[in-house]
Structure 1
């Protein structure tokens, strides 16, 4: 009796923290490590466990059983642990969860069951008793569906992670869960978003549907997502969207539509997105952006239009978001004509856009837009192709004119020398005429009068018909 009294007396003299530490360690399972910092944590990771330990410290606030060989969870598998807040069962071989397996964990806030490849089915009552659960992770399992009423007790649930499963539709179980703020459904096999798939999710702020097979979105599918801020729809099979697809999403800050099959951006899609800061439209097949498509995006900071089929970007389309911070336009077949003159000026002024290679016209193919010069004539931009054509024509005219004047001068000199009796000997001492000049001289003859007549003919022809090729047979016949 004396010994027992002494032990109790010693325990009563211990500080409360020391008493809790002693109790946590005392009941620690043999294969686990228990630590007491702010609360009791039980670490059983990589312990080779094929079955659950028979008991855990009743003071435990966190239990980790990751990377073991657990296969089965029986009813009340963990007993009664009123202090438990977090339970992790990631990376096991669990294939079946008995209804009521988590009874006794009335204060559990987080349950992690990701990376259990053999979980392909969940009973409607699998999570019975978890009325305070805030975060549930079922990612990278083998689920094809979950019962519609499985979360009937989890009204407080805020985060649901179900990415990388085999869902072909958005689980109906999430409808009406008004406290959900984050839903992760990426990398599934979802094919459509129905009008009622997301009903009642008025608190949702984050929705990830990327890397699915979505090819249809029904009208008003997002009508209840009034607080949504981040929305991932990228890397699906969307070729079109409903006319008012994002109506009411006034708090949306990031929208990712990249990696789809969109060919057109409608002016009706983004009308309500007044707080949108980042928009991804990259890696689509965009050919056209309708005027007015961006007119209400007054908060936009970053726009991704790279890797599409855009050849032009009229200023009238872009004007409302002229002062955004980042614009990505690379990997498009840009036609560097006057319609992109504004963009070149904007590039030079703000130094925020680079890498816009020209695909057309052919004379500019391969050049970056920053290297293209858009000259103005009478205040009007001249297309680079037209400018090149005009320059070439002017050069041709000038060359022909110079050759004509040179030829006339030489012919006159030759005629004067012949009249003065110099004849063949004088001609031999002069600079020889080129082949075209010699041909013309032979056709005109050696008489002064005949040369004058020919010169008059040349002059009149020049004035009437413009510069002609000196080797044109009709020209010679006409003037000789």
Structure 2
């Protein structure tokens, strides 16, 4: 009797979690392992299972069945597991899910079925009974569409991951889901965002539509996304946007429009984005940015304009965000004339932008803007092209003058030698002949000298005309 009383007393001192731990381990399915720390976790991943275990510990709060060969989920496939919060079925061969397969999981918060490439169809009642579901992952499947009323019971759903499927349009099932905060629809085949595609998503903070085939966005398509903070529209086929495309997105902090086919930016697009901090416009075909485009972006920190067809960035376009933290301008065919002098000064003063390679004018092509010298004439900036043209003209004129002087000098030296030769010959003749003959000889020599001088004049005039013509050809 004493021994029995002592045993009961010892058992009463044991933690209450011990019976639960024993129950979790005792009911663990074959080929799985079960652990009990704060709650019961069932680990059946990489177990080579072709079908689900017949039963799980009723205390299970998390079940991992990743990377098996499961093909089919029958009705109430998991029985009744009131404590289950997380269920993962990633990387299986599931091809069909019976309506009501998840009944009995009334407290499930997270369901993961990513990378089941044979899932191409979901029934309207697939998720019946999951009224508390918060996160659903259907990414990497083969879904072409989902029924519009499939989430009618999932009013608590906050995160929906459907990236890397085959959707041709934004699923209508998400409309009106006022608790959704994150939607992942990247790497699908969506072609348009209609005016009603995103209605009623007043709590949405994150929307990813990148790497689709979107070429049309209807006017006011994003009007209900008043709490949106991060928006990815990059790597689509957009060549234009409605005038008020992003109207009402007053909380947007990051907008990615990179990798599209935009050729110009309208000043009306970003007029409401007063909290925008990061803007991607890179990898487009931008030729023109309308003045006033950035005037309301008073919170902007980083602007990506690289990899476009921009040749100039006039100061009035850029002035309102002169305090920008990071500006990316590389891979554009910049015309480094006086319109970019302000940018060079900004580069030197703030050290926040670099790599602005000049494509023209030819005198500075290949240089970075930081290496271009802008001269001043009467306090006005002189373009590098004009500066080099003036220098080149001066050099041509100087060269022409030098060549002319050299030729004249040679001709005069030749004439002087000839005159000296004639004088010596005359004196030699004067000692050998009679004075009359000597006078005649001198007269003949004088006539030859005058003829030579006339020829020299004609030659000089001809050379002047020739060199002037050459100079004019260089100038033009």
Q: TM-score range by the shorter chain?
A: 0.7 to 0.9
**What are the Cα deviations for residues 347-393 of structure 1, in whole angstroms up to 9, with x where unaligned?**
22222222222111223222222221111111111111111111111
Q: Deviations over 1:157-182 (max 9, x none)?
A: 00000000111000011000000000
Gaps of 5+ in 1: 427-444, 474-480
Match of 1:106 in 2: 106
Separation in 2, partners of 1:356, 1:329 = 6
Deviation at 1:19, TM superposition (A): 2.1
Q: How does 1:59-208 map to 2 (within 5 A)?
A: 59-208=59-208
Distance across 2 between alignment mates of 1:77 and 1:340: 68
Q: CA deviation at 1:450?
A: 5.7
Deviates more, 1:62-71 or 1:354-363: 354-363
The answer (yes or no) to whether the contact 2:411–2:456 under 8 Å persists in 1 is: no
CA distance in 2, matches of 1:121, 1:153: 19
| SS state at 1:364 partner | coil
Q: Which runs of 5+ in 2 are unaligned?
A: 426-447, 471-476
Farther-moved stretch of structure 1 (14-23 vs 78-87): 14-23
Cα offsets for 1:241-284 (capped at 9, x unmatched): 00100001011011000111111111111011111111111111
| Inter-partner Cα distance in structure 1 for 2:227 and 2:465 | 75
Cα drift, residue 233 of structure 1 = 0.4
Q: Distance in 1 between matches of 2:468 and 2:218?
A: 72
- In structure 2, what is the equivalent of residue 216 of structure 1? 216
1:478 is aligned to none
Q: What is the distance in 2 between the residues matched to 1:35 and 1:103?
A: 25
CA contact (8 A) 1:232 1:256 kept: yes
Matches within 5 A, 1:344-359: 344-359=344-359
1:241 has 2:206 as partner: no
Change over 3 Å in CA distance of 1:194–1:5 after alignment to 2? farther
Q: Tell me the CA shift for residue 10 of structure 1.
A: 7.0
Summarize the Cα distance change of 1:378–1:80 in structure 2 as closer, same or farther, 3 Å threshold: same
Partner of 2:386: 386
Q: CA deviation at 1:425?
A: 7.3
CA contact (8 A) 1:11 1:19 kept: no
Distance 2:408 2:214 in 1: 78
Whole-Å separation in 2 of the counterparts to 1:243 and 1:454: 76
Q: Distance in 2 between matches of 1:345 and 1:425?
A: 73
Q: Which one has the largest radius of gyration?
A: 2
For 1:129-158, what per-residue CA distance to the aligned partner results, in whole angstroms no more than 9, with x for missing partners?
111110000001111111111111110100
The 3 A distance-change label for structure 1 pair 9 and 101 is farther
Which residue does 2:376 correspond to in 1? 376
Q: CA deviation at 1:201?
A: 0.2
Change (3 A) 1:141 1:416: closer
* Aligned residues: CA RMSD: 2.8
- For each residue in 1:291-329, what CA deviation from the matched residue of structure 2 results, as whole angstroms up to 9, or x when unmatched? 111111111111111111111111111111122111111
CA distance in 1, matches of 2:364, 2:454: 48
329-338 or 265-274, which deviates more: 329-338
| 1:453–1:165 Cα change, 3 Å | closer
Cα distance in 1 for residues equivalent to 2:403 and 2:265: 57
Aligned counterpart, 1:292: 292
Residue 414 (structure 1) shift: 7.2
1:39 aligns with: 39
d(CA) in 1 for partners of 2:319, 2:268: 17
Quote the Cα distance in structure 2 between the aligned partners of 1:10 and 1:88: 40
Give the SS at the match of 1:34.
strand
Larger deviation, residues 379-388 vs 218-227: 379-388
TM-score normalized by the length of structure 1: 0.86
How far does the alpha carbon of each residue in 1:187-239 deviate from its partner, in whole angstroms, 9 at most, with x for none? 11100000000000000000000000100000000000000000000111101
Instruction: Using structure 2 for the length normalisation, give the TM-score.
Output: 0.87
Q: 1:416 to 1:13 in 2, by over 3 A?
A: closer
Q: Which residue of 1 aligns with 2:401?
A: 401
> Quick one: structure 1 residues 294 and 472, their matched pair in 2 at CA, closer, same or farther if it must change by over 3 Å?
closer
Q: Retained in 1: the 8 A contact 2:146–2:171?
A: yes
- Cα distance between partner residues in 1 of 2:367 and 2:79: 72
